[in-house]
Amino acid sequence: MASTLFRNVIQAQPLFLNSSALLRKMNGVLYCTMKSTSHSHTQTATEERQQQQQQKSPQKIKVPPQKQMNEVSRIGADYEAVIGIETHVQLSTLTKAFCSCPYSYGAQPNTCICPVCMGLPGALPVLNSKVIECAVKLALALNCRLSFSSKFDRKQYFYPDLPKGYQISQFDIPIATGGSIDLDLPLEFGGGHRRFGITRIHMEEDAGKLMHSGNGSYSQVDLNRAGVPLLEIVSEPDMRTGIEASEYAAELQRVVRYLGVSNGNMQEGSLRCDVNVSIRPIGQPEFGTKVEIKNLNSFSSINRAIDFEISRQVNLHSQGQQDSIVQETRLWEEGAQKTVTMRKKEGLADYRYFPEPDLPEVVLTKDYVDSVGKSLPELPEAKRRRYEEMGLSMQDVLFLANDIAVADFFDATIQKGADVKLAANWIMGDIAAYLKNEKLSIIDIKLVPHELAELIASIKSGTISGKIGKEILFELLAKGGTVKGLIEEKDLVQITDLGDIEKMVDKVIAENPKQLEQYRSGKTKLQGYFAGQVMKASKGKANPGILNKLLVEKLNAKV
Amino acid sequence: MLSTLHSPRSLSRFPLHLTSSVKPRAASASSLSDYPPSPPLPVAQSPGGAPASQILTIRRSLLSGSVTATQLAESYLSRLRLTEPQLNSFIHVSDSVLKSAQEIDDKIAKGGGEALGPLAGVMVGVKDNICTVDMPSTGGSRILENYRPPFDATAVKRLKEKGGIVVGKTNLDEFGMGSTTEGSGFQVTANPWDLGRVPGGSSGGSASAVSARQCVVSLGSDTGGSVRQPASFCGVVGLKPTYGRVSRFGLMAYASSLDVIGCLGTSVADVGIFLNAISGHDKFDATSSKQEVPDFESLFASINLLESKPLSGLKVGLIRETLDDGVDSGVKSAINAAVLHMQELGCIVNEVSLSSFSLGLPAYYILASSESSSNLSRYDGVRYGKQTVSDELNALYADSRASGFGPEVKMRILMGTYALSAGYYDAYYKRAQQVRTLIRESFKTALDSNDILISPAAPSVAYEMGEKKNDPLSMYAGDIMTVNVNLAGLPALVVPCGFVEGGPSGLPVGLQMIGAAFHEEKLLKIGHLFEQTLQGCRFVPPLVADDPTWE
Ligand SMILES: [Zn+2]
């Protein structure tokens, strides 16, 4: 209540509270500027890849994945890359981490703010318990050890997008440590199962955004994002190639989407990856100098940026210039497809962490953790293993488990007794194609799993033909309804009665004496014509096997 | 020779009572057994000096119709106008006091007297580091000059809901950092007992305003003694509640783990009624307690002043370390007399030693500075407050903060930044936290075997203006009596208990009573009995005593 009141008061003021909240752009680049995308559909890694493979735009410099792999593996003969990733996942809680402001991406600047997330004097943070729930869910999903007592700390630095002059984060006692994540590499990258370590997960708040004026003479602050809850997931330095790293990120995206804790959308910045890359000669136990790469807005940019960076470092190293690999933050430039220096590290930043005195300790009880554990859905890895056991190919497994909505649809379909392989084929074939054409998600279609199962059963039992089945499918996708209803309504039941089909065959033969003559004089190709006519007469419902059998008999009958 | 128990003015206005038969003691008066057994107090007739509750008097008068809220407000405002040029208690005086008073009168006129809040018509001063929606709130800092918050602090919201009228915003040391109120970015407040002296700090404006009857009660904030020491200096009652008892939402943070909003008033009953009005859990402050808030008002009604030994058997621990060298002999004498008085009320007073007591001061200054260096980061000139015109970001920060903050604040930010820096954290912040744990434990032990602990509220009476200005260490040392209580998060009540010679009519001394967490009720009960039975002392400063409009 009160916070609503606050917000009204603030909104009554001009957009930017302090007309002089304009300041000169300081750093040449700001890595966190994410462009808004016009359509809301969010890409998964697989979709992203598929799109790339289809795009054959010659003007863009794009290294085909296979070639890139070869190059990296050639270099990999002498050197090994060591890659770790820090991922920030923006939680899709209804309200921010420490105040009751709702957050919606793309809202007008400074409309989702209150005294707390603006850092007004006297305002205090109060933790949104949903943040803890999300953290515990992810920690359990990533097989982490939970800290039954953790705390918040203040990470202090000055920047105009940080209203309080400190970020509420977790420092020495994160909520979770020591986990792992399992994934299957895509087949086009050679496939294979991987397990990467998770160092820690901690809760923190997001900062606002700076918006720089066109000519760069001033900047404005949008605090809508300030205080939005984040989980930071730090991986162990277990990855060795760009594709491993991008698949790690893709699997994290799947996990957070399965859990429903985040939309995991990279374009909107709901999933942000900062990557650390170093190389070392094979056999050397010490790590090389690590370089951080930022501005990775898609899975493929993670992949390509890392492979570029590995090549860059290996080239320097192999030319004896390893001293020019310095600890720095580099920026991935999508246009030029390369990394460039953003800032050199000047010693270790001192964030003067200390325990946040405004928030009590975060205490978890075993009962709470157990209850959250029980609420977890089947996770991508478990799903993939289950699908594999059902006898599906890895191609099918990866496709179906990629998107939880698709997986749910598939699971519901087979639960209704549908044949596993047939269900997979329908979903991956005609349904996927339809979704793609119509730019829809599987949750938007009118077809329900129960009816897909019914459809598959009707074809299998011979009630309808496969061809009619497809027609019904598109009807169901677009308009809904039931398989039974459509079959009845349109009188689509397959005709398998010998007598009925025989009558139709006889009629067609009788009506086409010329063609019959031609056939009998050796133009046997005309069988197709007769079959077509019979099928037409049956409105497509005649069982093709019976039809053809009878037709051949009749056509070849001795007169 | 010191006249420890009575101000000359009290002497002239009221008959001296016999409790002064105790001679002032030398500094070594550490053993209580030195005191002769005290004669029973003649408490049957409440002496004229005992302070009555202004809040209860106001309520009775309003309900009986003998006075209107507007008349009351006008009388306080006229005294304020008269005294303010000399005192400078307020940074801002509200222009809607009479309007608020009229609303209360309208309510009474419509027969809504029954529905009047417990603070109806009560004029309240609010320390300027506590946010008020309709008035500037500066924290005493130039960096927030003309800043107007979009919300009321929870304590202010609650007092308004209960009928309280905010008179204005009282002066303070910038962001609460100081012990004299000379550290205000705007003005220097005078002590109503001696205009050449400071009112103490940092809630100096709140103490001075209550002492001079410019308002009935006031809100202060207490991080290391900022309510209690000025209460002592100005001869008023000051209460620092248990950490978490009152919501900090809307209090500009100085040291979040120590900050508490406290109450000042001219009687223990007023302070108790006021505390009740502003206490309780607040969903906007995660550190506010869900402990039930007792009805302190019924407590005062039930206390039997006729009983000869109303505090019979109550165990009181006098903290030995608070009467060491460095405490003015006049203060010691007043405290010793107060001890005697408590014994007369039936208390069993024993000395207790808190071994970690002396560690409190350095630990406090490290922790408070560390937290303040962080809490004050938000004053960066970007979103609100003072902003210096700059064409480069770092210059904007540096210039805005350099011109907005005063020297004491800058010093504490520097100290705190240093203490939290990598490589120093363990030696300073972490050790100070360990000391804090020790202090908490030693208080717990002492309070397990005693109902309350007592000490002076400050080692001296009010300083002369300028006396501590260039001697911060000596000013910091003045906080020795109070900082430990904040580190332990305990409630403490300061009640005026005597005088030391000085100024035109003596300078008041305050007795600090420390209780177990959330035992404010006990402190208020004891404080009330102590105050009502204290003979011969009338804590009305000359500025007001000379004013015919008072009483
Ligand atoms: Zn907010």
In SS3 terms, A191-209 reads as CCEEEEEEEEEEEEECCCE
Catalytic residue among B7, B53, B100, B127: B127
- Tell me the CB-side half-sphere exposure of residue A156, using CA atoms within 13 A: 21
pLDDT one-digit tens code per residue, A40-69: 345 566 666 655 555 433 333 334 444 444
Are the CB atoms for B509 and B5 separated by under 8 Å?
A: no
User: Picking from A294-303, A401-410, A457-466, B52-61, which range would have the lowest pLDDT averaged per residue?
Assistant: A457-466
pLDDT at A194 over 60: yes
* Per-residue model confidence as pLDDT tens digits over B324-360: 888 999 999 999 999 999 999 999 999 999 999 999 9
Residue whose tokens read 């223990």: B268
B431 contacts in A (CB within 8 Å)? none
Sketch out chain A's domains with CATH numbers. Answer: 5-370 (no CATH), 380-489 (no CATH), 498-555 (1.10.10.410)
| The CATH number fitting domain B55-356+441-546, selected from 3.40.50.720, 3.90.640.10, 3.40.50.300, 3.90.1300.10 | 3.90.1300.10
Inter-chain contacts counted by CB atoms under 8 A, chains A and B: 134
Q: What mean pLDDT is predicted for residues B361-369?
A: 97
How buried is residue B166: exposed, middle or buried, by Cβ count under 10 Å (0-12/13-18/19+)? buried
Our answer to whether residue B127 is catalytic in this structure is yes
pLDDT exceeds 90 at position B319: yes
Span A279-307, average pLDDT: 94
Query: Two tokens at A37?
Result: 């995308």
Helix, coil or strand: residue A182: strand
Checking if the pLDDT of B10 tops 60, the result is no
B444 flagged as catalytic: no
Give tens-digit pLDDT for A361-411: 999 999 999 999 999 999 999 999 999 999 999 999 999 999 999 999 999
First to last CA, chain A: 93
Region B512-528: mean pLDDT is: 97
**CA distance readout (Å), B222 to A265, A463, B177, B203, B464:** 47, 84, 10, 8, 22
Is the pLDDT assigned to residue B489 strictly greater than 70? Answer: yes
For chain B, the domains span 55-356+441-546, 360-424
- Expressed in angstroms, the distance from the first to the final Cα of chain B is 33
CA of B130 relative to ligand 1 center, distance in Å: 20
**Is there a contact between B374 and A115 if contact means CB atoms under 8 Å apart?**
no
Choose the closest CB to A21 out of B382, B392, B421.
Answer: B382
Residue B139: list chain A partners with CB under 8 A: 121
Catalytic site residue B61?
no
Average pLDDT score over chain A: 86
C-alpha of residue A299 to centroid of ligand 1, in Å:
31
Which whole number is the average pLDDT over B107-118?
86
pLDDT over 50 at B272, yes or no: yes
* Cis amide linkage into residue B298, ω under 30° from 0: no
CA distance B229 to B204: 9
List, as ranges, residues 285-304 from B with C-beta within 8 Å of A. 285-287
Q: What is the mean pLDDT of residues B195-207?
A: 98
Q: What is the mean pLDDT of residues B264-271?
A: 97
Interchain proximity A124–B285, CB inside 8 Å: yes
CB B125 within 8 A of CB B90: yes
CA of A97 to the centre of ligand 1 (A): 9
For range B159-172, the mean pLDDT: 98
CA of A102 relative to ligand 1 center, distance in Å: 8
Least confident of A155-159, A245-249, A553-557: A553-557
- Taking the CA of residue A106 and the nearest CA in chain B, the distance in Å comes to 21
pLDDT digits (tens, 9 = 90+) for A419-478: 999 999 999 999 999 999 999 999 999 999 999 999 999 888 878 888 888 988 998 998
Helix axes A449-460, A404-415, angle to 10 degrees: 50
Q: How far is the CA of A129 from the centre of ligand 1 (A)?
A: 15
CB atoms within 10 A of CB A11: 14
Residues sharing a CB contact under 8 Å with residue A91, sequence separation 6 or more, in sequence order? A97, A130, A131, A134, A228, A229, A230, A231, A261, A262
Contact status of B396 with chain A (Cβ, < 8 Å): yes
Is the Cβ pair B248, A24 closer than 8 Å?
no
User: Considering only alpha carbons, which residue of chain B is nearest residue A128?
Assistant: B286
- Of the candidates A222, A253, A237, the residue with the CA atom closest to the CA atom of residue A292: A237
pLDDT for position A345: 67
The alpha carbon of B154 and the centre of ligand 1 are apart by a number of angstroms equal to 17
ipTM: 0.90
CB contact under 8 Å between A221 and B130, yes or no, is: no
- What average pLDDT does range A282-306 have in this prediction? 94
Share of chain B above pLDDT 70, in %: 90
Rounded to a whole number, what is the distance in Å from the CA of B114 to chain A's nearest CA?
28
Are B37 and B366 spatial neighbours (Cβ–Cβ below 8 Å)?
no
| Contact (CB, 8 A) for B453 and B316 | yes
* In chain B, residues 68-127 whose CB comes closer than 8 Å to chain A: none
Q: Which residue of the set B179, B184, B202, B289 is catalytic? A: B202
- What is the reported pLDDT for A50? 59
pTM of the model: 0.86
Q: Smallest Cβ distance to A10: which of B150, B380, B396? A: B150
Q: Report residue B77 CA to chain centroid gap.
A: 22
Nearest by CB to B377, from A166, A353, A358: name it: A166
**If contacts are CB pairs under 8 Å, which of residues 408-467 in chain B contact chain A?**
417, 420-422, 425, 429
Q: Which residues contact B194 (CB under 8 A, 6 or more apart)?
A: B462, B502, B503, B504, B507
The rounded percent of chain B whose pLDDT value lies above 90 is: 81
Report the candidate in A422, A23, A39, A432 with the shortest Cα–Cα distance to residue B397: A23
| pLDDT confidence bin for B548, thresholds 50/70/90 | low
Could you tell me the CA-to-CA distances from B142 to A23, A507, B184, B198, B401 in Å, in that order? 21, 103, 9, 21, 10
Q: Which residue has the higher pLDDT, A538 or B501?
A: B501
pLDDT at B490: 98
Q: Is the pLDDT of residue A15 over 60?
A: no
Please, which residues have CB within 8 angstroms of residue A60's CB and are 6 or more apart in sequence?
Answer: none
Determine the distance separating the centroid of ligand 1 and the alpha carbon of A2, expressed in angstroms. Answer: 11
List C-alpha distances in Å: B423 to A167, A353, A378. Answer: 21, 12, 46
Min Cα separation A344/chain B (Å): 19
Q: Name the active-site residue from B53, B206, B221, B226.
A: B226
The answer to whether the CB of A63 falls within 8 A of the CB of A422 is: no
Res. B305: pLDDT tops 80: no
Residue B427's alpha-carbon distances to A353, B146, B363, B366, B441, in angstroms, are: 15, 40, 11, 10, 21
How many other C-beta atoms lie within 10 A of the C-beta of residue A102? 11
**Single-letter amino acid code for the residue at A151:** K
Determine contact, residues B336/B22, Cβ cutoff 8 Å: yes
Of A85-94, A459-468, B405-414, the range with the lowest mean pLDDT is A459-468
- The pLDDT of residue B4 is 35
Q: Has residue A31 got a pLDDT over 50?
A: no
Q: Please give the Cα distance from B51 to B530 (Å, whole number).
A: 11
* Closest residue by Cα to residue A63 from A303, A296, A395: A303
Instruction: Name the residue among B144, B286, B420 with its Cβ closest to that of A352.
Output: B420
Of chain A, the percentage scoring pLDDT greater than 70 comes to: 85
A34 against B463, higher pLDDT? B463
